[in-house]
Amino acid sequence: MKNRPAIYSALIIAAILALVQGCAFISLDLASFLQYQPFEEHLLRPGGKDKVLVVEILGPITVTALRNTFRPSQGTLERLDAVLGKAVHDKNIRGIIIKIDSPGGGVTASDLVFNKMKTFKETQHIPVVACITNQGTSGAYLIALAADKIVALPTSMVGNVGVILPSISLEGLLEKLGIRNQSITSGKFKDTGNILRDMTDEDTAILEDIVTEFYTSFIGTVQEYRPVTEEDLKIISDGRIMTASKAKDLHLIDAIGYFEEALRQAEDLAGTSNSTVVVYRRKGENSGGFYSWP
Active site residues: 138, 190
Please, what is the Cα angle at 248 between 148 and 141, to 5 degrees? 55
- The total of other beta-carbon atoms located within 10 Å of residue 227's CB is 9
Alpha helices in 4-138 (DSSP H): 4-20, 30-34, 76-87, 107-124
Give bridge partners of residue 51 from the DSSP assignment.
93, 276
Please, what is the Cα angle at 133 between 245 and 223, to 5 degrees? 55
- Note whether 72 and 284 are within 8 A (CB): yes
d(CA 255, CA 261): 8
